[in-house]
A and B are shown apart, each in its own frame.
Chain A
């Protein structure tokens, strides 16, 4: 080696020995590049957990798509054709859509006004939107039934206003997500300047809200709506305890009578949940920070 950069007394022989010996040891250990290697334990953990999470789905499919002897999709067709399935799904869709629309229509203007003008109320409003998290559906169900149930002062259930009870309950349950989604979207946009600009051009407050604000927070509205809709579609506790025959309630009952059909429909329900999450994830990609998970007990 005639590299002029090395100084010192080490002879070339010594250096060659040192280098060769160390290299041999290293080759024997066969260290791979640290950068591209996935740790073994990580792979194992992810594999095992994948099995745990996929197994119930697989078991459901095996049970639901068979006659006990061989594979068939007949239980699925039976289920999809069942009257109970149709009526309960329709009912769930009805409640989910109405709740979502109501939640958006009420919460969005409220969040807008709080941001624009009623800043002092922010703490109160935020508390009210955290409250449903603290009050899981079971408690809400007791409270609603205490106030509007059969043996109570305002008997909504027996009246023709009965749907209002579940809609009201679902509204309360979905307020936290809708508010948070809309509020985040509002804060990301300069609401004040937009409103001022719109007012200076002669637009009234309603027009400002509908034509200016709503389009700017559309992603927040969509994510809030998706979360509200999927929550309402999958909600069991309130519906069951207050006596409404929604899809989750039907699912529980049908699995008692017709297990195979029931399991097939369980998979359908899972696919609906999956579709909802995919849609939310697509929104989240365009607007980072979107909440995808309820995060509260059911």
Chain B
């Protein structure tokens, strides 16, 4: 229940920049995730918050108090480590009790609190077991119980679920969220797992190469990414080449068709752009006479279908339209369209289909690659689309 502020935190190791200009405020009881590829600085930032690394610049402030120069054992934070770091010579109960024992709480009080926490985390039956006798999921819960036993103002989670089986992971992350809300603890979760970050966070901080790429709610990050990196990193995203007619008037054109695109604001007139559209927003068109209503149209042939469970991803290769004014626009080669698996049989591999591209809510970013070299991008698809991750 503390307010955490990181102000302009930076850190380098040798000549490698690990974190640069990181500023963030986390409100009472909020769960914020740090999400990004390995090496993006999320763990380093977390460790700076905890006090295990000293920042080269910037400050860590808890409830208005500058704790940057305090050692980790004086900051009143809790932490769950990757690999749990349970003390192997102590039972689960003793592990949970440790923080309280260090603070010299009376024995009676300690035992009561430990029992209460074991109960809360469903660990009462393993209280007397040693870490090497417990499963991964149990160890993780003990690590959590141990961290919250001292009622920390801030809870730090360093990839707590990466060592756990996939099936158990989903259960556990819901439990973590439930516990966090119930105990109203300000929490930072570091993870590389997008679904984890998006499913349980109040806000997500997308990081790239030591800097904050973007901050927003899960919905904002997913549906309205503000940078190309975020768009590419979160889920799968199609990038469809278009030409910007006017940035101020928010007009783009493709295949001779000019449409209004609010997402094109701020781009230069005449430059090449990429329209960002999620696979599930692309609609296969039924009949040729359906009105497009301000959307764009694309024709393609299905190369392969990828079964993803509830949805099936159709990978399309664009077919050149009838000779139109598309000079200098790179071809969209591969496109991902997500359809309900139940109807996927309507478009088997080899079949042609026409796809409606909704422009209204989609962002347009400048296509720097095409502007630089004359090479068309080989795939309109970015992110982990191919595997449907």
**Contact at A18–B25, with CB atoms within 8 Å?**
no
A18-B66, A22-B66, A31-B54 known; A5-B14 Cβ under 8 A? no
Question: Is B24 in contact with chain A by the CB < 8 A criterion?
Answer: yes
**Contact at B69–A26, with CB atoms within 8 Å?**
yes
Q: B61 contacts which of A5, A18, A33, A34 (Cβ < 8 Å)?
A: A18
Question: Is B82 in contact with chain A by the CB < 8 A criterion?
Answer: no
Question: Is B53 in contact with chain A by the CB < 8 A criterion?
Answer: yes
Report A-chain residues with C-beta under 8 Å of the C-beta of B69.
22, 25-26
Question: Is B57 in contact with chain A by the CB < 8 A criterion?
Answer: yes
**Contact at A3–B23, with CB atoms within 8 Å?**
yes
With A and B bound together, what is the CA distance between A1 and B212 in angstroms?
A: 14
Give the residue name and chain of the B residue nearest to A8 (CB).
B25
Q: Which stretch in B5-13, B92-100, B242-250, B278-286 binds the other chain?
A: B5-13
Give the residue name and chain of the A residue nearest to B27 (CB).
A7
Report A-chain residues with C-beta under 8 Å of the C-beta of B205.
5
Q: A5 contacts which of B53, B57, B212 (Cβ < 8 Å)?
A: B212
**Contact at B25–A7, with CB atoms within 8 Å?**
yes
Give the residue name and chain of the B residue nearest to A23 (CB).
B57
Give the size of the chain A interface in residues (CB under 8 angstroms): 20
B-side interface mostly: strand
Question: Is A6 in contact with chain B by the CB < 8 A criterion?
Answer: yes
Question: Is B114 in contact with chain A by the CB < 8 A criterion?
Answer: no
Question: Is B215 in contact with chain A by the CB < 8 A criterion?
Answer: yes
Report A-chain residues with C-beta under 8 Å of the C-beta of B56.
26
**Contact at A34–B53, with CB atoms within 8 Å?**
yes
Give the shortest distance, in Å, between A28 (CB) and chain B (any CB).
11
Q: A22 contacts which of B5, B23, B53, B68 (Cβ < 8 Å)?
A: B68
Report B-chain residues with C-beta under 8 Å of the C-beta of A6.
5, 7, 23-25
Question: Is A54 in contact with chain B by the CB < 8 A criterion?
Answer: no
**Contact at B215–A19, with CB atoms within 8 Å?**
no
Question: Is A201 in contact with chain B by the CB < 8 A criterion?
Answer: no
Give the residue name and chain of the A residue nearest to B12 (CB).
A33
A34-67 residues with Cβ-Cβ distance < 8 A to B are 34-36
Report A-chain residues with C-beta under 8 Å of the C-beta of B7.
6, 15, 18-19
**Contact at A19–B54, with CB atoms within 8 Å?**
no
Question: Is B272 in contact with chain A by the CB < 8 A criterion?
Answer: no
With A and B bound together, what is the CA distance between A6 and B9 in angstroms?
A: 13
Give the residue name and chain of the B residue nearest to A3 (CB).
B23
With A and B bound together, what is the CA distance between A200 and B27 in angstroms?
A: 74
Give the shortest distance, in Å, between B204 (CB) and chain A (any CB).
12
Give the shortest distance, in Å, between A14 (CB) and chain B (any CB).
10
Question: Is B232 in contact with chain A by the CB < 8 A criterion?
Answer: no
Give the residue name and chain of the A residue nearest to B21 (CB).
A3
Per-residue contact bits, chain B 17-59, to A (CB 8 Å; 1 contact, 0 not) = 0000001110100000000000000000000000001101111
Residue from A5, A6, A25, A35 whose CB has the most chain B CB atoms within 10 Å: A5
Report B-chain residues with C-beta under 8 Å of the C-beta of A22.
58-59, 66, 68-69
**Contact at A5–B23, with CB atoms within 8 Å?**
yes
With A and B bound together, what is the CA distance between A26 and B53 in angstroms?
A: 13
**Contact at B13–A18, with CB atoms within 8 Å?**
no
With A and B bound together, what is the CA distance between A3 and B205 in angstroms?
A: 13
With A and B bound together, what is the CA distance between A1 and B5 in angstroms?
A: 15
With A and B bound together, what is the CA distance between A19 and B24 in angstroms?
A: 14
Per-residue contact bits, chain A 245-289, to B (CB 8 Å; 1 contact, 0 not) = 000000000000000000000000000000000000000000000
Report B-chain residues with C-beta under 8 Å of the C-beta of A15.
7
Q: A18 contacts which of B23, B27, B59 (Cβ < 8 Å)?
A: B59
With A and B bound together, what is the CA distance between A22 and B60 in angstroms?
A: 10
Give the shortest distance, in Å, between A51 (CB) and chain B (any CB).
31
With A and B bound together, what is the CA distance between A5 and B6 in angstroms?
A: 11
**Contact at A19–B57, with CB atoms within 8 Å?**
yes
Report B-chain residues with C-beta under 8 Å of the C-beta of A10.
5
**Contact at A33–B13, with CB atoms within 8 Å?**
yes
Given A19-B57, A22-B69, A34-B53, 4 additional A-B pairs, CB 8 A: A1-B23, A3-B23, A5-B205, A35-B13
Report 7 cross-chain contacts, Cβ distance below 8 Å, ordered by A residue.
A1-B8, A6-B23, A7-B27, A8-B25, A18-B66, A22-B68, A22-B69
Which residue numbers of B lie inside 8 Å of A, CB to CB? 3, 5, 7-8, 13-14, 23-25, 27, 53-54, 56-59, 61, 66, 68-69, 205, 212, 215
8 nearest A-B residue pairs (beta carbon): A5-B215, A22-B59, A22-B68, A7-B25, A8-B25, A3-B23, A31-B54, A19-B59
